[in-house]
Structure 1
Amino acid sequence: MQPMVEFCLNRLTPDVEEIRDELAQDPEVEVLETSCLGNCEICAASPYAMVNGEIVTGETAAKLRENIQQAIEDHKRKMEELFDLL
């Protein structure tokens, strides 16, 4: 199962668009854009995305990129652990 990263169209500033574009180039990550993810307070306060339904924020776009990458790595590790159990 691929990690899914969702971005709110209302928060797609140029630096967040750059993150989205980088992730879209990765064939192992599904990237979606939604007109509104329903987290307006978070959206107004800082850049954010949803990774597998979990909110990931960052005070800056660079920190958001780092946190998204960490969430993706965590997801991959969990998937590997699940497959190891089978």
Structure 2
Amino acid sequence: MDSGEVIDSSADKGHLKFRLVEGQVQETWKVGIDGMQVGGKRRLTVPPWVSTKEGRGENIPPNSWLVFEVELVKVR
């Protein structure tokens, strides 16, 4: 059942900065963000069988679908 509960949101915390290289972000993020252009928006939906393989935070319940709303604001 989809509770729609928001576990964490960075909407009020500023931008998330990271390098799109091995060990810096999960594979689903690398695949989902690859090819985006600045200003682009995507929804990354990660099923439980993938998120379990990649590891997850302590606060995420088992068998949870993870949904990320991503907007690419800058590339260096």
Q: Same fold (TM over 0.5)?
A: no
- TM-score if structure 2 supplies the norm length? 0.26
Return the structure number with greater helix share.
1
Return the structure number with greater strand share.
1
- TM-score if structure 1 supplies the norm length? 0.25
